[in-house]
Amino acid sequence: MATSSPSTSAQPIDALIVGAGFAGMYMLHKLRGLGFNPQVVEAGSGVGGTWYWNRYPGARVDIQSLEYSFGFDEELEKEWRWSERYAPQPELLKYAEHVAERFDLKRDIRFNTRVTAAHWDDAAQVWNVTTDDGAAMRCRHLILATGCLSIPTDVTFPGLETFKGAVYRTSRWPHEGVDFSGQRVGIIGTGSSAIQSIPIIAQQAEHLTVFQRTPNYSMPAHNGPIPDADFEAWSKDPRGYRAASRDTVGGFQNEASEAMATQTAPAEIRAELERRWAWGGFRILGAFADTAVDPEANRIVQEFIAEKIRQQVADPAVAEKLTPKDHPFGTKRPCVDTGYYATFNRPNVELVDLREEPLTGFTPEGIKTSAKGYAFDAVVLATGFDAMTGAIDRIDLVGRGERRIKDHWAEGPRTYLGLMVAGFPNLFTITGPGSPSVLTNMINSIEQHVEWIADCLVSLKQRQQTSIEASEEAEAAWCRHSTEAVTPTMLPQANSWYMGANVPGKPRMFMPYAGGLNTYTEICRQVVGKGYEGFIIRQGDRVLSESRAFTSQPAPGEIPENLLPIIVGRLMAAGLMPAE
């Protein structure tokens, strides 16, 4: 039965990819190489996704650039040399442009076009897709490469429209840049975007006021040129290096230790944390195996970071306000900064703690809190994203039997492997909710998904199968397994965007898969090895293969013995494991 969807009589294209960020670009290249004729639709006027939109001052990657770059092409790898350990946004955008040029991608990308609707036509086994310019397209496979952090939250403030100054969003920064020289600037938010931009804006502006509701943990990047020795070590065997990165929980090399903080002598703990702090970035996350699960171990790292904040911020009262207290370390994505805390020592920078004086709204002159008014020439909103589901559920997606994605996800996003959704045949989500995605080095997660999807499309084509779809049973089993993976950790304890907590009315559910990229990749391999376990494969309306259950088990990870009681206890308390 055809749905009441927009349609056209044109021949369907093999695959329509939505988004020309790193995921969409590689998907396009990969499918072309396999003899498909894919096309891409992109809302922006250029490639690069995240790095196209987020042009705020100080934007840069928080995974080392040697690892945060494509590994699928040896020549590409050899010809590109990053200038810094953590590349800045303009260089990342240049890299995206280079990739597009090198593989002649733009001829198949329709820019300045947003997909607004996609309806599955079961009779024709195609997706009917509508775009915001009113065009209609038909495709066999619809691949959403729409990004996990691409749609800003709708946060607004009473009176914002009356403000006479300029308003900028970090995630929609003007392409021509902004010069804050001589201006009084206010910034709302203290997440990664704010923490990266505050030090730069403070250098330019006459005065900067930072409105903080919740302080975050931030580690120094110690950014700079990539030391020759590091580059040479990497250049000797980039393949091996990448393989090793993919075989980790986070998809990047972070010296994950199996030592337990609660069983390590204080002097050794200090030495280890100091060593990792001096190295910079996320390295401190891997210091001890129990930090993510044991509150006592986590507290040790929290106190270490609090001390580091006190060392960097001259005014003890300001340092205290900047110290996180409401969530364990690592339960929100930690930030990586260059001079963030020291910026509060500048005479032209002021911190307003919105817990003490809540923001009540805007006036024509600036921002009002319960305590007083602040006058500004410009205000920056660094207020975050409708993460993971925002870009997907803004498309009117209607699957088999008129199933709408919004209804299916009413209690939180349900997927099988974060790759497909039951009732939505031939719809793939690259780094979708339910996959490791934002908990990992995104590039490695993107490559793993693109390659899995490409293999799947080849398999369907070779067998003349017209559709693949996750079974309800496998989807339910994957959701359960995802819950089991995150429950022993403290990750669900924070009001994070991982939990959907930053968007009013969004269901609370831990959205990424917390079992690790290495485990997850192995599960995806097993699923294929078992003939696409958990998927229903059809030719027209004839079911060719259906193994509805999901039984693949992750290779038993090396869980330190001392963690087992905590993990088992949490699973039992959550009813995910029978009590003895």
Determine, following the binding rule CB under 6 A, whether residue 167 of this chain makes contact with ligand N01.
Answer: no
Determine, following the binding rule CB under 6 A, whether residue 191 of this chain makes contact with ligand N01.
Answer: yes
Three-class SS state of 350: strand
Least distance CB 498 / ligand N01 (angstroms)? 9
CA distance 379 to 359: 14
Instruction: Annotate each residue in 440-479 with x if it binds ligand N01 (CB under 6 A) or - if it does not, as one string.
Output: ----------------------------------------
Q: Angle at Cα 291 formed by Cα 413 and Cα 556, nearest 5°? A: 65
CA distance 262 to 260: 5
User: Quick one: 50 or 298, whose CB is closer to ligand N01?
Assistant: 50
Instruction: Annotate each residue in 309-348 with x if it binds ligand N01 (CB under 6 A) or - if it does not, as one string.
Output: ------------------------x--x------------
Q: With helix as H, strand as E and coil as C, how does 537-566 read?
A: EEECCEEEEECCCCCCCCCCCCCCHHHHHH
- Binding residue (CB under 6 A) for ligand N01 from 31, 43, 61, 443: 61
User: Quick one: 68 or 452, whose CB is closer to ligand N01?
Assistant: 68
Q: With helix as H, strand as E and coil as C, how does 177-225 read?
A: CCCCECCEEEEECCCHHHHHHHHHHHHHECEEEEEECCCCCEEECCCCC
Determine, following the binding rule CB under 6 A, whether residue 194 of this chain makes contact with ligand N01.
Answer: yes
Q: Is 486 exposed, middle or buried (0-12, 13-18, 19+ CB in 10 A)?
A: buried
**H or E, element range at 51:** helix 50-53
Write out the DSSP string of 453-508.
HHHHHHHHHHTT--EEEE-HHHHHHHHHHHHHHHTTSSGGGS--GGGTTTSTTPPP
Least distance CB 411 / ligand N01 (angstroms)? 22
CA distance 570 to 575: 9
Helix, strand counts (H, E) of the chain:
17, 21
Strand partners, 381: 169, 188
Query: How many whole angstroms from its chain centre is CA 307?
Result: 29
Alpha-carbon Rg for the chain in angstroms: 24
User: Quick one: 62 or 533, whose CB is closer to ligand N01?
Assistant: 62
Determine, following the binding rule CB under 6 A, whether residue 509 of this chain makes contact with ligand N01.
Answer: no
Determine, following the binding rule CB under 6 A, whether residue 222 of this chain makes contact with ligand N01.
Answer: no
Least distance CB 376 / ligand N01 (angstroms)? 15
User: Quick one: 504 or 575, whose CB is closer to ligand N01?
Assistant: 504
Compute how many other C-beta atoms are within 10 angstroms of the C-beta atom of residue 78: 10
Taking contact as CB under 6 A, which single stretch among the options 185-193, 290-298, 307-315, 342-350 is the one that binds ligand N01?
185-193
- Binding residue (CB under 6 A) for ligand N01 from 146, 323, 448, 502: 502
Q: Count the site residues for ligand N01 by CB under 6 A.
A: 25
User: Quick one: 378 or 457, whose CB is closer to ligand N01?
Assistant: 378
Taking contact as CB under 6 A, which single stretch among the options 160-168, 193-201, 479-487, 519-527 is the one that binds ligand N01?
193-201
Determine, following the binding rule CB under 6 A, whether residue 354 of this chain makes contact with ligand N01.
Answer: yes
Taking contact as CB under 6 A, which single stretch among the options 190-198, 250-258, 303-311, 465-473 is the one that binds ligand N01?
190-198
User: Quick one: 188 or 443, whose CB is closer to ligand N01?
Assistant: 188
Determine, following the binding rule CB under 6 A, whether residue 62 of this chain makes contact with ligand N01.
Answer: yes
- Binding residue (CB under 6 A) for ligand N01 from 3, 5, 193, 343: 193
CA distance 212 to 205: 18
Q: Which of residues 368-407 bind ligand N01 (CB under 6 A)?
A: 382-385
Taking contact as CB under 6 A, which single stretch among the options 191-199, 471-479, 513-521, 529-537 is the one that binds ligand N01?
191-199
User: Quick one: 215 or 488, whose CB is closer to ligand N01?
Assistant: 215
- Which residue has tokens 């024709």? 124
Determine, following the binding rule CB under 6 A, whether residue 489 of this chain makes contact with ligand N01.
Answer: no
Three-class SS state of 431: coil
Least distance CB 492 / ligand N01 (angstroms)? 16
Closest residue to ligand N01, Cβ-based? 191
Least distance CB 27 / ligand N01 (angstroms)? 21
CB under 8 Å to 403, separation ≥6 — which residues? 423, 424
CB under 8 Å to 146, separation ≥6 — which residues? 18, 19, 391, 392, 395, 429
Determine, following the binding rule CB under 6 A, whether residue 197 of this chain makes contact with ligand N01.
Answer: no
Determine, following the binding rule CB under 6 A, whether residue 485 of this chain makes contact with ligand N01.
Answer: no
Q: Residues in the site for ligand N01, rule: CB under 6 A?
A: 61-62, 149, 155, 188-194, 196, 213-214, 333, 336, 354, 359, 382-385, 438, 497, 502
